[in-house]
Amino acid sequence: MLDIDGSHGEGGGQLLRTAVALAALTGTPLRFRAIRAKRDEPGLAPQHLAAVHAVAVLCGARVDGLALRSQEIVFAPSSLRGGEFAFDVGTAGSVTLVLQALLPVMVAARASFRIRVTGGTDIRGAPPLDYLREVVLALISRMGVHARLVTRRRGYYPRGGGVVEVSLNPSRLRPLCLEAVGQSLQIGGLAHIAHLPMHIAERMGAAALKRLGPRDVPVRCETAIVADEEAIGQGGAVVMWAQFEHTVVGAGRVAERGVRAETLGEAVGSELAADLAAHATIDVHAADQILVYLALAGGESSFTTREFTSHARTAMWLIEQFLPVRFTTSPQGALTRIAVAPR
């Protein structure tokens, strides 16, 4: 049984989600202790409960200690299986974070899946749903895995109730070497709101575009108001992404009460502009999320990123506990080059 200290590195929920995913896809029994030890409210929150439970269902795992605010679990996986599944966080806990745990397992199973997750679709502290679709899923599609994500309903804090369906056919990951972005193709975006005035989405989108400035390729940020019956609660988000010949980089922010729409849009535009100026092949937020797929692909993979975060550093340490791979990092001008290879 592999023993993982949840206080290692950044010590948050991502460490737990990735650990149970890796345990499931490798068939490794896991003891995970000091869950979210570095957070203000340590232990399992509803979205972490949902993520662990969902992964356990996919691999037939026995889980001890799976309770709200529990700080230690034992996760004993059995065999992976495809099929149709439905999971409900029960709160506004993030759907995208639950899918962060599920997607690597689904890919590794090489089976067909149709999964329905209910919860918060655009929640503070988690990737907006459109960032997951337009950036993360776009990146793994370049590795040979095509997941289809359909938004049935948006859900926001505090009620949640958003519904997302993800389908995946059996596929095999291939390595991804991103040493250069290649030709710039276009920049797209979406600023949406629900049960709020349309001008909020318009201001978020306009501020993002202003910070990006003029470009040599088409740039657009669509604005949308979600129909009342297609959303629960008030909320919104702004996401922008740049498509290149070899990669996709993006940025996103979730609407927050008390934070000006312009502030959110400016943050997205500034972040994306910085990645474009640095010629990073993976943006700061996708850098830690893509690592597990690169490790599972076999062979050698690499990319460059503008900022080597504690999330990425922690994920690399954790993946090496489960898989026979080794990560290396090296400076490349203003960027950090991250590579993974079998050991």
- Give which of 120, 98, 100, 95 is closest to 255, Cα–Cα: 120
Q: Is 275 helix (H, G, I), strand (E, B) or coil?
A: helix
Work out whether strand 222-226 and strand 184-194 pair parallel, antiparallel, or are unpaired.
Answer: parallel
- How far apart CA 207 and CA 22 sit, in angstroms, is 40
Contact yes or no for 336/304 (Cβ under 8 A): yes
Q: Is 164 helix (H, G, I), strand (E, B) or coil?
A: strand
Q: Could you give the dihedral angle defined by the CA atoms of residues 143, 146, 152 and 157, in that order, rounded to the nearest 10 degrees?
A: -20
Report CA torsion sign: 228, 230, 233, 236: negative
End-to-end CA distance of the chain: 21
Which residues have CB under 8 Å from 312's CB, separation 6+? 287, 288, 291, 305, 338
Q: Catalytic positions, please?
A: 311
Q: Is 211 helix (H, G, I), strand (E, B) or coil?
A: helix
Tokens representing 50? 């949902």
